[in-house]
Structure 1
Amino acid sequence: MKRFLALALFIFALTPTGYTQNKPIEMALYPENKVPGNLPGPDEEKSEASGGILRVSKIKIPTLTAYLPPADKANGTAVIICPGGGYSIVAIDHEGFKVAEKFNEMGVAAFVLKYRIPDEKNQTDPSIAPLQDAQQAILTVRTNAKKWNIHPERIGIMGFSAGGHLASTAGTHFERSLIDNPDRVSVRPDFMILIYPVISADIAITHSGSFKNLLGGNASAQQLLLYSNEKQVTAKTPPAFLVHASDDGGVSPNNSIAFYQALIKNKIAAELHIYQNGGHGFGMHNATTKDEWMDRCKNWLNGNGWLKAQ
């Protein structure tokens, strides 16, 4: 695996636009796989497909998979995609790879983040491992923007379910860099796309499993408040597009509503779509409606100027 990643990075570096026959390229997220806070031990990562969903578990070595549109179609915008999975697995295909392909059709470069699963066996501080990976992904894309035909101020982050919690954490906790960043490159995303996201630790609306997996079973009130991202919105928080279903029995739609209200309170541009039905985990296609939320997302991106070529 390490030899494959090294070869992929070598080929990637030699390609002027970072794009070869429209094939995705998986790369090590951290240089030389020096992952901050990782403890020594075996890599027990496992991939399993069932019910049409590809689940990756026990992720210890994070990666970033680049999907770059052809140079003549690229508009300079990029999005980093964080698939969901309750901080216990990563649903990397229908909430990752397939979404990246759709963004390429819009001329948007997409990067699927296979972030670490919090685990005290693997990390000194499991609670910050996913955020470190999200920040490193933003740093990687921003520092390679010219090579990959991306505008450094048009880099967004997207997340589904617990991946939405991670994306919203990146969008509200960027003032403090948790990674090696000697040049102080901004790790603030320029926009957020949050799909049925976990947001809040408020007991009335929380997805307790995600918070338990991230913070452990004995999280302090201070920790829970810190990662209740509707409480962390400020005037510097980036714009957001949110999607949820009213009948979501896994993650209450009140998570999206609370975050949207916090954005509006702070005068942050935001758009929220709540479908009558759809449940949880529908990915790009809500089977209960003919409406495609990705079309609405495209309109939102276009309306904010992110699909205009630069």
Structure 2
Amino acid sequence: MLNRRDALGLAALAATPLPGSGVTPVSQTDAPPDPAETIRLWPGRAPGGERVAVTPRVVERSTDPAFHDRFAQYTTEPLLTVLRPARPNGASLLLIPGGGYKWAVVDKEGMDCARVFAAAGVTCFVLRYRLPGDGWAAGPDAPLQDAQRALRLARARAAADGLDPARVPVLGASAGGHLAGMLTARTDATYAPVDAADAGSFRPDLSILLYPVATMADPFVHAGSRRELLGEAPTAEAIERYSLERMDWRGAPPAFLLHAMDDPAVPVENSLQLLTALRAAGVPAETHLFEEGGHGFGIRLIEGRPAAAWPGLALAWGMRRGWITQV
């Protein structure tokens, strides 16, 4: 069984995986290989793509062979990359990386984080989602369509994979935190059902939001995310509809919020305002604010600093909430 000390100690997995976990550590010469298993979200084309004319690309920004730092842009076939632990404990996790809605990062808040949680026995699904500015008919709801479909697929596949369909949280970072927040708060389905998986709920069982883009309103908005999501001059109605702190959170599952106070891109007020909304709605919320850390640190960029404790803190919280039961 995973006790609190073990859970807190798992923060060190960012640099050193558990022995026998099946997770390949990042060496000084080679980045870990990508998981071979992927799942296409949609049985045919993604919905509303009649006017989409972009060409997908994945760009590598890292010049160091020890790690990848990729982003996916102009995605037309959204997918889940599956990272399975050596000793699964029945828990799953949908990971939604950030990228300011201009792209979706692959590694920093995707594969890198997934390897840490997989080392704790969690089966991880990393989402590569469509972007709102690429001409999809759903516009700002196109990424949410993918997130809702991804959660439903993870839940629908759980029994066949030996996983618990009632233990499927979401982890979202930065703009991915905004998307994970919408997935959690909104109860309206954003697409017509396409198969039996869509009979299930798309609401996650828990929400872990890392330095989330929450508000679309001045003065604390991340302007780039708002521009990509809502356009250059969004209406007051659009700002209201897509600001997490203004959504109806009643009945939402417990949330875990993490933010650095010195975040220069997404002010900490994003998490603070969201926390106020969660408390007003009666949603249990654990919040960790670190004095330093900046923005977009994921796992690798926070090594050796206090915020490196966040995976262990999240696992300990998840253990108390019944997500993690054993490792």
Partner of 1:306: 323
Partner of 2:305: 289
Instruction: Kindly state the Cα deviation for residue 180 of structure 1 after the two structures are TM-superposed.
Output: 3.0
Instruction: Kindly state the Cα deviation for residue 162 of structure 1 after the two structures are TM-superposed.
Output: 0.3
So what's the TM-score if we normalise by structure 1? 0.86
The answer to whether residue 270 in structure 2 is matched with residue 255 in structure 1 is yes
The answer to whether residue 51 in structure 2 is matched with residue 35 in structure 1 is no
Instruction: Kindly state the Cα deviation for residue 234 of structure 1 after the two structures are TM-superposed.
Output: 2.4
Q: Secondary structure at the match of 1:298?
A: helix
Instruction: Kindly state the Cα deviation for residue 304 of structure 1 after the two structures are TM-superposed.
Output: 1.1
The correspondence for 2:81, drawn from 60, 65, 74, is: 65
The correspondence for 2:290, drawn from 265, 268, 275, is: 275
Q: Secondary structure at the match of 2:75?
A: coil
Partner of 1:163: 176
Partner of 2:222: 207
Q: Structure 2: 5+ residue runs without aligned partners?
A: 1-21, 24-34, 63-67
RMSD of Structure 2 on Structure 1 (CA): 1.9
1:169-248 alignment, distance < 5 Å: 169-173=182-186, 175-181=187-193, 184-248=199-263
Instruction: Kindly state the Cα deviation for residue 39 of structure 1 after the two structures are TM-superposed.
Output: 2.1
Moved more, 60-69 or 287-296: 287-296
Q: Secondary structure at the match of 1:300?
A: helix
Q: What are the Cα deviations for residues 81-123 of structure 1, in whole angstroms up to 9, with x where unaligned?
A: 1110000011111110111111111111110000001224x31
Partner of 1:44: 55
Partner of 1:145: 158
Residues in 1 aligned to 2:322 and 2:52: alpha-carbon distance in whole angstroms? 46
Residues in 2 aligned to 1:213 and 1:31: alpha-carbon distance in whole angstroms? 27
Instruction: Kindly state the Cα deviation for residue 184 of structure 1 after the two structures are TM-superposed.
Output: 3.2
CA contact (8 A) 1:278 1:288 kept: no
Partner of 2:127: 113
Partner of 1:12: none
Identity rate of aligned residues, in percent? 33
Residues in 2 aligned to 1:219 and 1:91: alpha-carbon distance in whole angstroms? 25
The amino acid across from 2:110 in the alignment is: G
Instruction: Kindly state the Cα deviation for residue 216 of structure 1 after the two structures are TM-superposed.
Output: 1.4
Partner of 2:91: 77
Instruction: Kindly state the Cα deviation for residue 202 of structure 1 after the two structures are TM-superposed.
Output: 2.1
The amino acid across from 2:126 in the alignment is: V
The correspondence for 1:126, drawn from 139, 145, 159, is: 139
The correspondence for 2:117, drawn from 91, 95, 103, is: 103
Q: Secondary structure at the match of 1:155?
A: coil
Residues in 1 aligned to 2:77 and 2:286: alpha-carbon distance in whole angstroms? 34
CA contact (8 A) 1:198 1:255 kept: yes
Residues in 2 aligned to 1:223 and 1:127: alpha-carbon distance in whole angstroms? 10
So what's the TM-score if we normalise by structure 2? 0.82
CA contact (8 A) 1:159 1:166 kept: yes
Moved more, 122-131 or 135-144: 122-131
Residues in 1 aligned to 2:285 and 2:85: alpha-carbon distance in whole angstroms? 27
Partner of 1:135: 148
Instruction: Kindly state the Cα deviation for residue 125 of structure 1 after the two structures are TM-superposed.
Output: 2.6
The amino acid across from 1:105 in the alignment is: A
